[in-house]
Amino acid sequence: MKFPFAALVLGCLSINVAAEYIDEQQKQIDLNKREFVREGFKACSEKSFETVGAREECTTPVLTKAEEKFPGRGTDIYAKQTYSGLTESEAIAELKSLHSLYKKVEDNFSNQPGVITQDDLNHEGWWIQENILGIPSMVGRPPWFKECDGEVSAEHGRAEVEFCSLYEEGEAE
């Protein structure tokens, strides 16, 4: 009787561990950022502050500089550094790659270095859509599509664009 229970618990733990995706590049960014913040906060803690606000005046710039110096996945700084200059076909290929990764990650917050979320990838996808392909973001719609080839129809005095799958017929999602 003990064996089935142990197998069930072990199986649940294995599923949970396997589902958390670690991005090695993001892991290095997170570790560098943590060290930078730790050193900055250490310098702040060695000073004497009369108020909590005065202490925050020391720590807030440390956090801001850490974000600028070590931009992580899902931020505008990271997206601009990584995806600027892509051609339209490269952007579509990158959206496919992000979509593939999107399906592998969970959307849970984690303090573990290297964990990226669906929100991070969604943000990067929309950055590509807006800044490379010129398609404004749409609330509630994931960025895993492309503008269809063909005519633009006008309805109610405005142009409307059709959207298609990123994938060609017969191409695996």
Residue appearing with tokens 């191409």: 171
Please give the angle made by the CA atoms of 15, 104 and 23, to the nearest 5 degrees: 100
- Find the domain containing 170 and state its range: 73-173
User: Do 97 and 151 share a structural domain?
Assistant: yes
DSSP 8-class letter at 20: S
Q: Is 44 exposed, middle or buried (0-12, 13-18, 19+ CB in 10 A)?
A: middle
For the beta carbon of residue 113, count every other beta carbon within 10 angstroms: 17
Mean residue pLDDT of the chain comes to: 84
Q: State the Rg of the chain over Cα.
A: 22
Which tens digit of pLDDT belongs to each residue from 77-113? 999 999 999 999 999 999 999 999 999 998 777 889 9
Calculate what percentage of the chain has a pLDDT beyond 70: 82
User: Do 113 and 168 share a structural domain?
Assistant: yes
pLDDT score of 61 more than 80: yes
Tokens of 164: 């298609």
For the beta carbon of residue 81, count every other beta carbon within 10 angstroms: 10
pLDDT score of 48 more than 80: yes
**63-77, 104-118, 128-142: which is most confident:** 63-77
Q: How far apart (Å, rounded) are the C-alpha atoms in residues 168 and 67? A: 38
User: Do 167 and 109 share a structural domain?
Assistant: yes
* Strand partners of residue 154: 159
User: Do 79 and 60 share a structural domain?
Assistant: no
Can you say whether the dihedral through the CA atoms of 132, 28, 13, 110 is positive or negative? negative
User: Do 54 and 93 share a structural domain?
Assistant: no
Calculate what percentage of the chain has a pLDDT beyond 90: 61
Is the pTM value of this prediction over 0.85?
A: no
User: Do 88 and 149 share a structural domain?
Assistant: yes
User: Do 168 and 145 share a structural domain?
Assistant: yes
User: Do 164 and 105 share a structural domain?
Assistant: yes
pLDDT score of 34 more than 60: yes
User: Do 152 and 119 share a structural domain?
Assistant: yes
Instruction: State mean pLDDT over 130-149.
Output: 88
Yes or no: say if 74 and 120 are a contact pair by the CB < 8 Å rule. yes
User: Do 128 and 93 share a structural domain?
Assistant: yes
* Strand partners of residue 153: 160
Residue 168 identity (one-letter amino acid): E
